Amino acid sequence: MSGELWRLSAVEAVSLLKKKAISPLELIDAAAQRIAEVEPAVNALPTLCLDRARDHARKIMSGSACEASGEAGWLAGLPVSIKDLTDVAGVRTTYGSPLFADHVPTKSHPLVERIERKGGVVVAKSNTPEFGAGGSTFNEVFGRTRNPWNTSLTCGGSTGGGAVSLATGEVWLAHGSDHGGSLRRPGTYCSVVGLRPSPGRVTRGTSNNLWAPLSVQGPMARSVADLALFLDTMAGLCPHDPMTFDAPARSFSEAVARPVAPKRVAFTADYDGKMAIDREVRDICSKMARRFEELGCIVEEASPDIGNIDEAFLNLRSQQFVVDRELQLAQHRDKLKPDIVWNTERGLKQSPSAIAWAERERAALFRRMVEFFQTYDLLVTPGSPTAAFDVNLRHPETIGGKKPENYMAGSTVNSVITVTTCPAIAVPCSFDRHGRPLGLQLVGKPRGEAALLQAAWLFENLVGLDKLVPIDPKSGVVPPNSAH
């Protein structure tokens, strides 16, 4: 059995760990073997920490690191990957930047401390774009991460390494973060599940933007049940993050085990024409959204009025880049990638009135979303406006036949939801004619993760695509750009 342990779901593996039918050390060995097999093709986990993982596993096996064993989200020694934006004590953590190529933190991020306290064993750091900025995962330190469904394609960004580590069976759960779609687009491109939680659901710990709700930490998994387990691991109050709040009395795993279908589901392909989208993506996602009718749901085409939120998001994001990158830009401009320079300088040039306008737009959109969710229980959109594109490109060449204005243009379908603070999950739904994965973005009510996960689990059960992963990486060619 040990040779096939990488095929287990996280829920299955944790169940076996709790019964002591397998040991954490066996899973670490299985992960190490699988990583050695697939890494040359995908480059998802460039930094390993197997000795550190084995030390932690032995403590769990001896009972000296099991104080959280009775809590929701207890992982019992399950190997996980941590995104390389997030500190792990004693492990090289580069943030995807040449400025930090040799950085080894002495203290872990508060979320990593929580995951490890809950029995998660960190075996590797997953690749990310520089400082997490970008919809394709590459950097000057470790190079490009490739999509296992077709290694000539991107895996998306910025939690690209995490998505690939799951899809190929290198680990059972992957940690990530999401600002403009960084858990959702890689999930869509790699046919795994990625959740952007509500701000405050999961600690962001050491961020300088502690009062800004745009960027969040969250879980990624191969299935909704696995993801619910990892969200239970992560969720809860943290003294280092003023936006956090207590974990729910009823765990997310329990909610998924007793799913209730949404009554009314709204689907929009493009937010009433305000977003470019490839025709095939539109057609397939529209058809797949209708499958909610098989669950007894009423499905209607409807979209909240998103106003001019794309511009507002860029204003707010640029301001966040000023907080995060202004000092580095002043000292190391030549060592930062162009997208980061552009985003930060855009923030430095914008007026206080531009930021104030964006804040008013954000507040108005939130009020409209609250009203929208008085009619609908769930909003469904495509997970991405295009399928995965050439791994050598920063963004798609065209979206719906139009050239994108900037590197964030491919994330509009996701970034709109970022601004609303609503939780959103990417769930695999189909494949295009070239065999590229497609997904739906399911959006729940503010802080409505439990109902959102229930809807996602029911949809996943209908389509069954979670049974297709993990996979062996496949080589291929870049499909012609003809999806107008």
- 82-103: pLDDT as tens digits: 999 999 999 999 999 999 999 9
- 153-182: pLDDT as tens digits: 999 999 999 999 999 999 999 999 999 999
Q: Report pLDDT for 24.
A: 98
Compute the distance between CA of residue 340 and CA of residue 450 in angstroms, rounded to an integer.
Answer: 35
Asked if the structure places residue 483 within a domain, the reply is no
Asked if the structure places residue 476 within a domain, the reply is no
pLDDT class of 150 with cuts at 50, 70, 90 = very high
Q: Report pLDDT for 406.
A: 75
473 preceded by a cis bond (ω within 30 of 0) = no
Rounded alpha-carbon distances, angstroms, from residue 424 to 92, 146, 421, 446:
31, 24, 9, 10
The answer, yes or no, to whether residue 277 has pLDDT greater than 70, is: yes
The answer, yes or no, to whether residue 481 has pLDDT greater than 80, is: no
Asked if the structure places residue 474 within a domain, the reply is no
pLDDT class of 484 with cuts at 50, 70, 90 = very low
- Residue 415's nearest CA partner among 215, 200, 241 is 215
Compute the distance between CA of residue 40 and CA of residue 473 in angstroms, rounded to an integer.
Answer: 10
Asked if the structure places residue 346 within a domain, the reply is yes
Q: What is the CATH number of the domain that holds 447?
A: 3.90.1300.10
Model-level pTM greater than 0.95? yes
Question: 41: which residues sit within 8 A by CB, 6+ positions away?
Answer: 146, 148, 151, 473, 475
- 38-70: pLDDT as tens digits: 999 999 999 999 999 999 999 999 999 999 999
Q: Report pLDDT for 206.
A: 87
The answer, yes or no, to whether residue 407 has pLDDT greater than 90, is: no
Residue 307 structure tokens? 């106003």
Asked if the structure places residue 480 within a domain, the reply is no
Strands 47-48 and 78-83: unpaired
Kindly state the percentage of the chain with pLDDT values over 70. Answer: 99
What mean pLDDT do residues 446-471 have?
A: 98
- Residue 277's nearest CA partner among 165, 396, 161 is 396
The secondary element (H helix, E strand) that includes residue 177 is: strand 173-178
Residue 196 structure tokens? 């952007």
Asked if the structure places residue 350 within a domain, the reply is yes
- Residues 85 and 96: beta-carbon distance below 8 Å: yes
What mean pLDDT do residues 401-405 have?
A: 88
What mean pLDDT do residues 204-225 have?
A: 95
- Residues 157 and 136: beta-carbon distance below 8 Å: yes
The answer, yes or no, to whether residue 2 has pLDDT greater than 80, is: no
Compute the distance between CA of residue 246 and CA of residue 240 in angstroms, rounded to an integer.
Answer: 13
Q: What is the mean pLDDT of the chain?
A: 96
Opening angle at CA 357, ends 315 and 411, nearest 5:
35
Asked if the structure places residue 302 within a domain, the reply is yes
What mean pLDDT do residues 342-361 have?
A: 97
Asked if the structure places residue 482 within a domain, the reply is no
Q: Report pLDDT for 483.
A: 44
Q: What is the DSSP string of 387-417?
A: ---BTT-SS-S-BTTB--SSTTGGGHHHHHH
Rounded alpha-carbon distances, angstroms, from residue 116 to 37, 57, 88, 204, 240:
26, 10, 10, 16, 17
Compute the distance between CA of residue 212 and CA of residue 442 in angstroms, rounded to an integer.
Answer: 23
Domain range for 228: 2-468
pLDDT class of 360 with cuts at 50, 70, 90 = very high
With b for 16 or more beta-carbon neighbours within 10 A and e for fewer, the 217-227 pattern comes to: bbbbbbbbbbb
The answer, yes or no, to whether residue 404 has pLDDT greater than 90, is: no
What mean pLDDT do residues 248-262 have?
A: 98
Length of the chain in terms of residues written: 484
Counting the structural domains of the chain, the total is 1
For 438, the 3-state DSSP assignment is strand
- 319-330: pLDDT as tens digits: 999 999 999 999
- Residues 134 and 339: beta-carbon distance below 8 Å: yes
